[in-house]
Amino acid sequence: MPFSSVSFLYFFLPVTAALYFSASRKMKNLILLIASMFFYFYGEPVYSLLMAFSSLTGYLYGLWIQKAKSKKEARFALICSVVFSIGLLVFFKYSDFFIENINSLTGADIPLLYIPLPIGISFYTFQILSYTIDVYRGQVEAERNIIDFSAYVSLFPQLIAGPIVRYCDIRNDLRSRSHSVSGAASGAGRFVIGLTKKVLIANTLAELVSSLANAAESTVLLYWISAAAFSLQIYYDFSGYSDMAIGLGRIFGFHFPENFNYPFVSKSVTEFWRRWHISLGTWFRDYVYIPMGGSRIGKANRIRNILVVWFLTGFWHGAQWNFVIWGLYFAFLLITEKLFLKRVLDRLPRFFRHLYLILAVTISFVIFNSNGTAMMRTTLKGMFGALGLPFSGVETVYYLESYAVVLLIAAVGATPAAAIAAKRLKKSRPGEKAAVFLEPALYACMLLLATGYLVDGSFNPFLYFRF
């Protein structure tokens, strides 16, 4: 049940909110847990048991690690926890990938398992892992209340698409959180903004990407429009979903970490990854990169660490080679920047640094969006004129004209310009007064408009569900 669905918006959410706010303080986490389990059951009836089982084992491992009589036992418990969590993830997400590659490398004929990917498994597995590691490190106390812990793992706002919320981030909120009109209002506003980003912009761009993929003609410009549209689509899709998650969290009294910070305004790939999918980047930094020695080791080992982290980051996104290549592509850029490119970039005018970043990221999403390496090669060749295609054609021009405004709005909206303008406006006295009525009216219009889009169309995919 995506947030951007009529079932969620007009059935699940109002009912859950009504039950939650009418419940006593003690019962609130139980209500959230039941609602979250139903939310997951709605999309994955059978795999709900898997998620419940993962929660239970995470809870028990946490207690075991904390109660271990020696560091050795605690370490053993942690290893068991990591092997179990990663094992489940590998089995459900990567089995067929490994079988396919073993078959093609050895000529074996091991049958594929065709296991459907449980929704959100990558997200909740990483949450459980971060919890058990933090307990082992002594950074948090093991949670004794199984309802609170299960609510943490299964909390519906961030269950299926993040942000990856660490236990330490919301431990206090889980135990005692305050609910305020201003908190809920800011959450509702954030949710509506995220919904609008997802439904109006991302879905419209997805239509463009789909139309271009099925176009009768191939041109250089068409490949570029498609690449740019997909880059913006995935940003609006994922950041919109994160906005909705953070907004829902605020409504229910939680403070989730930010996941995006206008990544397209970056001037280097290093900066881009500080602004894109922040919760994943910090997770790999804290639980893989730093334990391997981070940046405080020799150059060769540092490069090795970056390669490992970005191989894993790519692989986390999906069990296909293009995701691995995507991760390693970023590793290459990050290493190059660290070795010399950053120094060169710093001397260039701002415009060229942006241009470099936009080009690098656009190419990265071509790799990301490719269904196989052959498609990736063809698209990249097409973009750079290596297929001998004409520059443009009637179909290309038609789609460019038809989606020009959406592309322009999406490009401008990916910068902080609108937020800065709104902030300035609200600071002025007349602006502040007008905002009292205009802001609620604007949110109401956006919600109704998004509803119109949802009711009208069935084209409502969410890219990060597959991770």
Partner 1 sequence: MNRKLKDKLILICFFGILIGFLLANILTRDAAYSASERRKLARFPKLSSERIFDGTVFEQFDKYALDQFVLRDGFRGIKALFAYNLFRQKDNNGLYFWGDHIVKMKYKMNEESVLNAAKKMNGIYEKYFIGMDAYFAIIPDKNDYSASVSGRLSTDIEKMAGLLRNNMPDIREIKLFDTLSLDDYYLTDIHWKQENLTGTVNRLLESMGNPVRISGNDFEKKELYPFFGVYYGQAALPAKPDTLSLLTADSLEKSLVFDYERNEQIHIYAPEKFGGTDPYDVFLSGAKLLLKITDTQSETDRELVLFRDSFGSSIAPLLLTGYKTIFLVDLRYMSSELLPEYIDFSVKRDVLFLYGADVLNNSHMLK
Of 255, 277, 317, 354, catalytic: 317
422 touching partner 1, by CB under 8 A: no
The residue from 6, 113, 417, 418 that contacts partner 1 (CB under 8 A) is 6
- Touching partner 1, residues 184-203 (CB under 8 A): 184-186, 188-189, 191-192, 200
> Are the CB atoms for 57 and 63 separated by under 8 Å?
no
- Tokens linked to 39: 């939310």
- Sites for partner 1 among residues 362-401 (CB under 8 A): 394-395, 398, 401
The reply on whether position 105 binds partner 1 by CB under 8 A is no
For residue 259 the two structure tokens come to 């996941």
Alpha carbons 171 and 463: distance in angstroms, whole number: 29
**Contact pick of 79, 348, 405, 419 for partner 1 (by CB under 8 A):** 405
86: Cβ contacts below 8 Å, ≥ 6 apart: 125, 129
29 within 8 A of 177, measured Cβ to Cβ: no
Pick between residue 82 and residue 409 the one whose CB is nearest to partner 1. Answer: 409
Known active-site residue 255: no
108, 37 in Cβ contact below 8 A? Answer: no
Which one of residues 27, 147, 451, 465 is an interface residue with partner 1 (CB under 8 A)?
A: 451
- For residues 278 and 258, the answer to whether their CB atoms sit within 8 Å is yes
453: contact with partner 1 by CB under 8 A:
yes
* CB nearer to partner 1: pick between 45 and 298: 45
DSSP string computed for 45-106: TTHHHHHHHHHHHHHHHHHHHHH-SSHHHHHHHHHHHHHHHHHHHIIIIIHHHHHHHHHHHH
Give the nearer residue to partner 1 in terms of CB position, either 51 or 334.
51
CB contact at 8 A, 234 and 365: yes
3-state secondary structure of 216: coil
Closer to partner 1 by CB, 254 or 403: give it: 403
Q: Tokens standing for 327? A: 């991760």
With tokens 């490009």, the residue in question is: 411
Q: Which stretch binds partner 1 (CB under 8 A): 15-23, 85-93, 105-113, 253-261?
A: 15-23
Q: Which is nearer to partner 1, 114 or 437 (CB)?
A: 437
For binding to partner 1 (CB under 8 A), which residues are involved? Answer: 1, 5-7, 9-11, 13-15, 17-18, 42-46, 181-182, 184-186, 188-189, 191-192, 200, 204, 214, 216, 394-395, 398, 401-406, 409, 432-433, 435-437, 439-441, 443-444, 447-449, 451-458
Question: Would you please indicate which residues are annotated as catalytic (active-site) residues?
Answer: 317
